[in-house]
Structure 1
């Protein structure tokens, strides 16, 4: 097995950016979903499934400065500043503690989405991550759906492999990083949204639902937790490693 694509989104729900490499920290891919949007009218994290135009937003983050751009060519580059206010928001029926940020980006993003929004930063890593911090899809599974845009599934890594690694498997990514596969990833209607147009253009979710799956879930791909941090590069070999880790760092 080897890695054919690496991707992440600094702003949750924004365009999934392809990278040549990523550093895996104990809490996940460095720079992934470090910011999010909150509905200004209610304390709830903005959901991409309800705001598919979010996937058309390009966002880059260097740790201090955020640049966002919309398809009409408008863009804003600025350093968001903390307001000192921390709120608890609903994130898919669980609480997420978020620090609100003062930012000129919200006017542009609100106009693009057609609703007022606020920019926020999760207080703890993983607050706005549905499952574990690292996700995988395989080229074999994508071929099974006749899907050529692997960014549609917004996985951290695409593996050149026929089948998903089984939950519990330890994987060495490249020369340093090790992750442990946790579970299969439940999916929603976002997988039917074209990442290049923001429009519903497939019935992947319906196709997946026809297959055998746990009640109440429609899985595709697997997620994993970081056991040993390290840099991962596109093209790196992925090997199943023997033994059990002394501990797994929670996401």
Structure 2
């Protein structure tokens, strides 16, 4: 087994960058989903499934400076500054404590989405992450679905393997070690084409027809970090 793809984004919902390496900290991938968007009129984290064109936004970090590019404008680079407002926003039925930021990024993103939004910074790692801090999909599972676009599933790591690692297993990924938690529940975001922003597959429907836990449609697994370190594309993956 080895790593074939590494991906993350500093802005929740934006296109996953394809990386050569990343630092895995005790709380998860460094720089992953540090910012998110809030609806303008209520404390509610913007959902990609309701705003599929978010996947057409590119975002990157250079120190404290956030760069955002949309099909309608950019690149826009600047350092978001705290407004002093802290909100408890709804994120899929749970509360996330977020810090509202002042920046021109929100205006650019609002123009792209066709609705006003606010930019917020996550105060604690994992606040707007649905599952464990590290997520993984395998090439075998992708082949079973007939899917060549690994980025569609927005996993931290894509692994060359026939099947998912077992829950509870320890995996060495380059310098890092993670413990597999279990399957990752999915929503219709997996049906959004990363290049066009269009709903163009029925993967969620296909997954829902498989044997699965009631109320969940899983694909891939997530994991917690046991030993931090650097993970690189093509690093071997070993069960320890």
Tell me the TM-score normalised to structure 2 length: 0.99
Q: Deviations over 1:50-91 (max 9, x none)?
A: 000000000011231011001134331111111111100000
- Could you tell me which residue of structure 1 aligns to residue 92 of structure 2? 92
Alpha-carbon separation, structure 1, partners of 2:158 and 2:206:
20
- Could you tell me which residue of structure 1 aligns to residue 194 of structure 2? 195
Alpha-carbon separation, structure 2, partners of 1:134 and 1:165:
13
Uncovered stretches (5+) of structure 2, i.e. residues with no partner = none
Uncovered stretches (5+) of structure 1, i.e. residues with no partner = 242-251
Q: Secondary structure at the match of 1:14?
A: coil
Alpha-carbon separation, structure 2, partners of 1:85 and 1:63:
23
Q: State the 1:183 CA deviation.
A: 1.1
Matches within 5 A, 1:93-242: 93-174=93-174, 176-241=175-240
Q: Deviations over 1:149-183 (max 9, x none)?
A: 00000000000000000110000011x21000001
Q: Secondary structure at the match of 1:42?
A: coil
Q: State the 1:203 CA deviation.
A: 0.3
The two structures, once aligned, show a CA RMSD in angstroms of 0.7
Q: Deviations over 1:95-154 (max 9, x none)?
A: 000001100111110011111100011111110101110000000000001100000000
- Could you tell me which residue of structure 2 aligns to residue 244 of structure 1? none
Alpha-carbon separation, structure 2, partners of 1:62 and 1:166:
36
Q: Secondary structure at the match of 1:152?
A: helix
Alpha-carbon separation, structure 1, partners of 2:41 and 2:53:
19
> 4+ runs of 1 displaced by more than 2 Å?
72-75
Aligned length, in residue pairs: 240
Q: Secondary structure at the match of 1:222?
A: strand
User: Aligned pair 1:37/2:37, yes or no?
Assistant: yes
- Could you tell me which residue of structure 2 aligns to residue 23 of structure 1? 23
Q: Secondary structure at the match of 2:50?
A: coil
**Contact 2:72 2:112 (C-alpha < 8 Å) held by counterparts:** no
- Could you tell me which residue of structure 2 aligns to residue 71 of structure 1? 71
Q: Secondary structure at the match of 2:72?
A: coil
Alpha-carbon separation, structure 2, partners of 1:171 and 1:7:
18
Q: Deviations over 1:209-250 (max 9, x none)?
A: 010000000000000000000000000000000xxxxxxxxx
